[in-house]
Every structure is written in structure tokens, then in C-alpha cells.
Amino acid sequence: MNAQSKPLVNPQIAEKLRDWRRYFEAKLGFRDHWYAALLSTDIAEGEVQTTTLLGEQLLLRRIDGKVFAMKDQCLHRGVPLSRKVETYTKDTITCWYHGWTYRWSDGLLCDILTDPGSKMIGTRSNKVYPVQEAKGLVFVFLGDIDPPPLSTDLPPNFLDQDRAAYGIRRLVNSNWRLGAENGFDTTHIFIHKDSPYVTGMDAAVPLGFASAKTPNFKVFDDPQNPQGVIDHMHEHYRPVFDATIGGESVVKLKAATGKHATIHTVSLWMPGILSVENHPDYDIIQYEFYVPYDEDKHMYFQVLEKLDSPTENDEKAFSAVCKSLHEPLALRGFNDDDLWAREASQEFYQDDWGWIDEQLMEQDQNLFIWRRLASKSGRSLQTLEHVKGHP
């Protein structure tokens, strides 16, 4: 092909990205959504904590019980305030460099310690973000619009009062989309076959789910409500317990028995939250938040919610069983496999070509449904301009 006849955009790529282009572009995630930023237990009264969300460094402080979030960047010369945290009053933070002082509630530049008569005082504000706490998580609305209710960026019923919650978090070296897709990918459970959870809980987790009957996906795309894809796996997939090569059995797992038979319904919600019902036990739902940290990392929050557990005693009892059983065996033992799988995928996708070069199979169709939905429902794209704080 000579230079003249070469198309401007490779037609294969254009075709492939036709209906999920914004997802492809959302390397830093979608802006104008609520994200889990910390566990409530990470931030005590008066404490200042840092984290990174969608590439933006943030500072958080708990004041009289309520958490506030501010961009970790001084307006004066752009240094991170967190480089040396200086807080002379409860309600303010002072930049260590030249003393510009900001109010946590609205970011207002309320004083300059080195030049108290400066005309700049009271005329500008650092960026602050709305914060809400629920179910042991601190949520930050990383965006610029009036925030919608927190519940619209969570799986349905996540905030229900009658559920006890227990959560952990850790940083994973892969893009957030590889986290979300690892969780939702039905045949990836092949990696869990040696997990101590499978033997420890006497749980029947198959090697994979072969397609059978017509797929049963439900897509929720009303912007006033949680937006997500539910995969009713048990209705259209056939669990595989005996894997063969050339007809010869090579790996065999115990078939499903008892009331905790197998994972049966998995769903993925905007802006990247997985819900796995009936796991790690029949009366527990596991939620996984794949929160964009930067282009190459995501903060992985795992939250277990136990149904019908409305009292404080229920909460305490659930926390005890999570610490002794579900955290070591499921959240870490079982899901640690997912962590190294995501990290092993990162190199292929890092320069964006993986999204073009991958060759997906029939059972990956739920990933396309998710990609299309995310492209459509992501409120806006996070860009490097947002990260740098360009006005």
C-alpha cells in the first residue's frame, strides 16, 4: 500500500472501537463519579491522609467526625502540601513553602502567613471534593458537577441498613480496567483451582463456565440509577469441573454439593464495582471496587456484606468471622490469585495496543457488554489536564 492510499485511521481499529471508544480512552478512569478513597478506619479524628484518585493526589482530613478532601497541590507554586503537612488550626492547612493557608470546608485561601496583607487572600480557592462515608468506606466525588446521590455510583442495595460490612484495601499494579475485567471474566476462575478457599470452605468453585443456552444478561443504563450489567451465570452457563485435553481428563474438581454450591450471579457497576452473590458464603455478597489510582495502578477495595445483620452485635460477630476466616481464606487466599493475574496482564495493555491485539472468545461477551455500557455511562473522561490542575 503506498502512502497515498493509506487510510488515516486503521479501519480494523476504528471498527473494533466503534461502540466502546470512551472506555478505551478512560485510562485514568471516568471523572464526575463517586469513588471509594479510604477505609473509614484509615483516618482518625484530626489526622491528615493522602491518596491518589484518577491520577490526582488528594489530602483528606477528619474534622469533628466529618472527612474533607482537597487537591494536594498549592495554588502558589504547585508543590504538594503533603510534602510537609502543617496544620495550625483545626479547619485549615498551611503550605510549608510560603505559608498559603486553605480552609478544608471550601478550599478558600483564607490567609498567607508570610504576607498577611496580600490582596490574593480571599480571592481564590484550592479544589475541594465532596466526601461521604458509608459501610466503612470514605467516598470522594471526583468531579466538577453537582454530585448525584452516592447510591447511583454503587451496586443496588449496597447501602441497605440491614447489612453488616467488612472491608480491606490494597494497591495493585495494573490499570483499573484490567481489575474490573478480571473480576467479571467468567472463565478466569480457572486460576483459582489451587486456592485454599476451595478446599478450606468446602466450596465447589468450577474450573470455568462453558456456554449453554441463551445468554442472560441484564443491562441497567438509566442515568438516575445504578448503571451496570448483571450476568445470571447459573441460567446460561454450564460449570466445568472436569477439564480435558484430546478427550483425556487432566484436571478434576469436586462437583457442586450443598447449599453453597457455586458462584451464581455476578454483576459489574459503574464506575467499576463488582458484586459477587453467594460468595464467599451463601449469605454474603462480595463487592470489589477497582478504583483508578493512576494509569498503571488501581486501589482494590474488597467489601463483604452479610445479609440480615442489622444490629451492632451482628456487625461485631461478622467482623470477627471475617478476621479469622473470610479475610485469610477468601479476600486474601482466594483473591490473591486475581492480583497476580491482573499484574501479569498489565504489560500487554500498558501501551494501549493490548485492547486492539487481544483475541476474545465467546465467553468474553459480557466484557463487551460492560465496555459498551461504561463508554455510554461514564460521565466524563479524566485527563492529564485534570491531574495537573489546569484551570
- In the complex, minimum distance from the CB of residue 93 to ligand FES, in angstroms, rounded to a whole number: 11
CA atoms within 13 A on the CB side of 356: 11
User: Cα(115)–Cα(121) distance, rounded to whole angstroms?
Assistant: 9
Reference 291, options 301, 283, 282; nearest CA is 301
For residue 74, the partner it binds in Fe ion, ligand FES, none, with Cβ less than 5 to 8 A by kind, is ligand FES
- Please count the residues of this chain forming the interface with ligand FES, following the rule CB under 6 A: 9
Q: CA–CA distance from 180 to each of 74, 275, 290, 298 (Å)? A: 33, 11, 6, 10
Nearer to ligand FES, 38 or 74 (CB): 74
The interface partner of residue 100, options being ligand FES, Fe ion, none and the CB cut-off 5 to 8 Å by kind, is ligand FES
Binders of ligand FES among residues 48 to 107 (CB under 6 A) are: 74, 76-77, 79, 95, 97-100
Out of Fe ion, ligand FES, none, which partner does residue 338 contact, by CB within 5 to 8 A per kind?
Answer: Fe ion
- Cβ-based nearer residue to ligand FES, 115 or 202: 115
Q: What is the spatial distance between Cα 163 and Cα 177, in angstroms, rounded to a whole number?
A: 28
Considering only 53, 102, 338, 378, the residue that binds Fe ion (CB under 5 A) is: 338
Residue 15: count of CB within 10 angstroms of its CB? 10
Half-sphere exposure in the Cβ direction for 146 (13 Å, CA): 0
Is position 316 an interface residue for ligand FES (rule: CB under 6 A)?
no
What's the Rg (C-alpha) of the chain? 23
Q: Which position's Cβ is nearest Fe ion?
A: 338
Please identify, among the stretches 244-252, 292-300, 305-313, 336-344, the one whose residues bind Fe ion according to the rule CB under 5 A: 336-344
The binder of 77, among ligand FES, Fe ion, none, by C-beta within 5 to 8 A per type, is ligand FES
Size of residue set near Fe ion by CB under 5 A: 1
**Cα dist from 11 to 8, 109, 114, 162, 319, whole Å:** 9, 51, 59, 52, 53
User: Which residues are at the interface with ligand FES (CB under 6 A)?
Assistant: 74, 76-77, 79, 95, 97-100
